[in-house]
Amino acid sequence: MSDSTASADSKNTREPSTERLHDPETIRIRRADFDDARDVATVRRLVQGFADVSKVTLPPSVQDTVAPFLGRRAAFVLLAEDLDASDGSGRPSAVAMLIAQRILSSFQAGERINIHDLYVTPEAQGRGIGRRMLSVCADHAKALGCSDLTLEVTGDNAAARSLYRTFGFDLPEGDVPEGSVLYGKCPLS
């Protein structure tokens, strides 16, 4: 990020001050609208960003169909938008997404929400956006009558594991076997 101070002739392109970067009022979280071409493009961009940091190569066929696929399933996508930044079309810039789906819980004879992906762009990390997205997801799950949230996380993703644990997911602390994928559950009582 560049210096947050601006000269008199760059007032309209000034970046937000450091104080505003952590201001929750500058971030809006909403559900993606798969009937809106801009939201479809945003989801495609964020999925690609998540694949890039995960070192996964998405074939062109997946890049082209991921957003419509999510829109057709029982999935919902939350977008976090930075109200202080524009995506070039006049809309706030999306800086994070959470992809989740309603699934069955046979042992509870009910439903739960499984979080498939939570991705925060590198420049937006450290602002509490991931925690806020989990909170909005939990509120949505409660409104649907779901009993809990579930997710999987790779064992080597210490930052995500820490966030999920402090949110209430039952994930182990410390070292885990290399290459492990951990299952976590967070009750919504």
Q: Which residue has the higher pLDDT, 172 or 118?
A: 118
pLDDT at 74: 67
- pLDDT of 16 above 70: no
Is 4 part of a structural domain of the chain?
no
Over the stretch 89-144, which tens digit does the pLDDT of each residue have?
888 899 999 999 999 988 888 899 999 999 999 999 999 999 999 999 999 999 99
**What's the average model confidence in pLDDT over 38-61?**
92
The β-bridge relationship of strands 92-105 and 75-86 is: antiparallel
Are residues 42 and 79 in contact, defined by beta-carbon separation less than 8 angstroms? yes
**What's the average model confidence in pLDDT over 11-21?**
35
Is 15 part of a structural domain of the chain?
no
Q: Is the pTM of this model over 0.75?
A: yes
Looking at the chain, the whole-number percentage of residues with pLDDT higher than 90 is 61
Is 20 part of a structural domain of the chain?
no
- pLDDT of 11 above 70: no
- pLDDT of 2 above 70: no
Is 119 part of a structural domain of the chain?
yes
- pLDDT of 9 above 50: no
Instruction: Write out the two tokens for 133.
Output: 């997205």
Is 176 part of a structural domain of the chain?
yes
Query: Where in the sequence is the domain holding 71, given as residue range(s)?
Result: 26-187
**What's the average model confidence in pLDDT over 171-175?**
89
Q: How far is CA 146 from the centre of its chain?
A: 20
Q: What whole-number distance in Å separates Cα of residue 141 and Cα of residue 162? A: 22
Domain count, the chain: 1
- pLDDT of 12 above 80: no
Residue 139 maps to which CATH number?
3.40.630.30
Location of structure tokens 């290399």: 178
Is 11 part of a structural domain of the chain?
no
Is 8 part of a structural domain of the chain?
no
Identify the bridge partners of residue 77 per DSSP, sorted by sequence position: 99
What's the pLDDT band for 3 if we cut at 50, 70, 90?
A: very low
**What's the average model confidence in pLDDT over 148-167?**
95
- pLDDT of 54 above 70: yes
pLDDT at 173: 87
Is 159 part of a structural domain of the chain?
yes
